[in-house]
Structure 1
Amino acid sequence: MKKTLQGLIVLAFALAGSAFAAESAQEATVRKLIQSTFREGVKIDTVTKTPYSGLFEVRIGSDILYTDEKAQFLFTGEVIDAKNGTNYTKARIDDLSKVKFSELPLESALKMVKGDGKRVIAVFEDPNCGYCKQFRKTLNTLDNITVYTFMYNILSDDSKDKSKNIWCSADRNKAWDDWMLRGKAAPEAPANCNTPNDKVFALGQKMRVTGTPSVIFTDGSRAPGMLDVKMLESRIAAAASNNKAN
C-alpha cells in the first residue's frame, strides 16, 4: 500500500512536470509567432498564458497586450472581470511598475522633513511642470512626512539649468519651494558645481517615469499624475499597511 501511494505521488509530479513543459513550449511557440507582427527592434520580454479565456499575455517593457494561441489576433486594452469588476490588466501593470524603495538613490534627491517625518514618499518633479507646482502645495499641507524630490528634467531645455541652480543653492529645499510655490528663481550656480541631474534622468528612464509629478510609495507602488490630499493620504496609509503585511 505504501509503495502504491509513493508511486502515485511520483506519477503526479511527473504529470505536473509534463504539463508545465508543454505550457512553456506553447508560450515559446506563441512568442515566435507574435514576434513577426512587430517591427524590427521591438523586444518581447515575456509571453505568458493567462487563466482567462485562453489568452496569452505579451509583455513589452511595462506595456501589456494579449493574443490567442495561434497569434492570429492582437488585443489591446484592459481585461476586466465582468462579475466582480477586477481589472486584471491594471493589477498586472501596477505589479510590473513596482520598484524597491530601499534601492532608490535618495542622496540624489532633495529631502524635506515635516513633523516626525515617519511617513515617507519619493516624487519625480520637473521645475517647469505646472501640475508639480500645484502638487507641491498639496505636499505642504501634510504633516509628519518625509518627501524625497528627484528633479527630473524632461519638459523644457532649461529644466536642467533650473535644477542645477536649485541643487547648488545654500538651502536647496528653500530654493525649490521659492521656485515651485513663489516663482522666485534660484541664483545661477557656479560652473564647477556638480549635480545628480544625469543620474536622476537615467533613473527615471530606467523606471519608465514618463510624466511628472510621479509619486513612489514605500511599498514600491507608484502613482503617475497629481493626487489630491485625500487620495495621497490613502495611498501612503495603504503602502504602510502593505509593508507591515510583508
Structure 2
Amino acid sequence: MTNTNCFGCYLAFFSCIKRNKLSTKNSWRNEMKINMARLLLFFVMSPLITSVQAQTLSGPQALQEKLVQAIEVSSQGQLEILAIKETPLASIYEIELDTGELLYSDESGDYLFAGDMYQTTAAGLMNLSSGTRQVRILERIARIPEEQMIIFSPEVDVQATLTVFTDVDCTYCRALHGDLEALMAQGIQVRYLAYPRGGEAADSYDKMISVWCSDDRHKSLTQAKNGQNLPARECDTPVLSHYDLGNQIGISGTPALIFPDGRLIPGYMDVERLVAMLNLN
C-alpha cells in the first residue's frame, strides 16, 4: 500500500523549497537537485495515491486529473502543473511544473521520472526536453518591459539580440562587457538583466540597485564593472524580480546568455564564438 502521508511530506518539503529559493544563496540549487532526486525516487518506488491506484487512464486529461490531486492539492497549491503533453515515446507524457522542472510519466500516472529525454538521430542525440524549456524561457523574458533592462544597441541594423543575466562583480561578466563594442559592430544588441549572485545577500546587490537607480544606467553599469565605486542610490528597481526570474528559468551563475531561440547558455564566450552561434557568419 502506498504511504500517502509520506508522499505528502515530500511534496510539502518540495513546496517549501520553492517558496524559499528566491531569497537564499545559490547553494539552494544543489540542495534542490538532491531533494528533487529523493522526491522522484519516491515517485518511482510508489504509486501516487492509493485511492486511484487501480484506475486505467487513457489520455492526458485523465492523467492531469490524477496528478493535480497528487501534486497540486497535496502541496496546497504551492506547485502547479503548467502543461502535460505527449512525447514521441508511446504512452509517455511530459509534465511541466511551474518551478521549471520537467517530469515524465507513464500513461497511468503511477510512476514519474526526471531528466531530459533524447532521441537518437543520424546526426547524433537530439534533446527533446530543451524545446519546452526554450519556449517557456522566451515567454517569461517577453514579459519584462525593455525599459527595465539596460540595452546596448548597435548603430548598424540589429542582426541578433542577446539577453544577458549579469552581476557587476562577476569576472567573466566584465570580460563579456569588454566585448560590447566588438559585438555591436557585428550587429548584436545586448540586453542586460540583473542577477546578483546570492540575491539580496550578495555584495553586488546594492551596487546593482545603484546602477538601476542611476540617471545614466549605461555609464553606471560600465563604471561598476570596471570596479569603480558608485554613490549609494535607492529607488524602486527590478533587480530582485530579475534575480527571481533567473532562478525560475534555471540560472545559477553569471553571465547567463539567452539566445533568440530561447537557448540558455551559461558562461563567457568570445565574440567569434557568439557570432557563430548566432549564425551571423
TM-score normalised by structure 1 residue count: 0.68
Q: Which deviates the most, 200-209 or 34-43?
A: 34-43
The more displaced of 104-113 and 55-64 is: 104-113
- Is the counterpart of residue 28 in structure 1 residue 68 in structure 2? no
1:205 equivalent in structure 2: 244
Alignment of 1:5-154 (within 5 A): 23-32=59-68, 35=71, 41-61=78-98, 62-84=100-122, 85-99=125-139, 103-116=143-156, 118-119=158-159, 120-142=161-183, 143=185, 144-154=187-197
User: What are the within-5 Å matches in structure 2 for residues 177-216 of structure 1?
Assistant: 177-180=222-225, 182-186=226-230, 188-190=231-233, 194-196=235-237, 199-206=238-245, 208-209=248-249, 210-211=251-252, 212-216=254-258
Aligned counterpart, 1:233? 275
Give the equivalent residue in structure 2 for 1:163.
Answer: 208
Q: CA deviation at 1:109?
A: 2.2
Q: What SS class does the counterpart of residue 67 from structure 2 fall into?
A: helix
Deviations 1:50-80 (A, max 9, x none): 2313212121122111111223322111211
1:34–1:194 CA distance, 2 compared to 1 (3 A): closer
Q: CA deviation at 1:33?
A: 7.0
Q: Distance in 2 between matches of 1:29 and 1:167?
A: 44
Instruction: In structure 2, give the amino acid aligned to 1:223.
Output: L
CA RMSD across the alignment: 3.2
Q: Which amino acid counterpart does residue 161 of structure 1 have in structure 2? A: D
**In the superposition, relative to structure 1, how do residues 105 and 158 fare at CA in structure 2: closer, same or farther (>3 Å)?**
same
1:174 matched to 2:211: no
Structure 2 regions of 5+ residues with no counterpart? 1-57
1:33 and 1:83 mapped to 2: Cα distance?
37
Unmatched segments (≥5 aa) in structure 1 = 1-21, 239-246
Identity %, equivalent residues: 21
Give distance in 2, aligned partners of 1:88 and 1:29: 25
- 8 Å CA contact 1:135–1:226 kept in 2: the answer is no
The amino acid across from 1:216 in the alignment is I
- 1:93 alignment partner, SS class: helix
Aligned-partner Cα distance in 2 for 1:100–1:72: 31
Looking at structure 1, the residues matched to 140 and 222 of structure 2 have their Cα atoms a distance apart, in angstroms, of 27
CA contact (8 A) 2:195 2:242 kept: no
> SS state of the match for residue 136, structure 2?
helix
User: Match of 1:241?
Assistant: none
Separation in 1, partners of 2:97, 2:256:
21
Give the conservation status (yes or no) of the 8 Å contact 1:30–1:47.
no
Aligned residues: 210
Contact persistence 1:113–1:146 (CA under 8 A): yes
Question: What's the counterpart of residue 11 of structure 1?
Answer: none
Instruction: Give the aligned residue type for 1:43.
Output: E
Relative distance call for 1:175 and 1:53 in structure 2 (3 A) is same
Distance 2:209 2:69 in 1: 48
Instruction: Give the TM-score, by structure 2 length.
Output: 0.61
Say which one has the larger Rg: 1
Report if the CA contact (8 A) 2:166-2:194 is conserved. Answer: yes
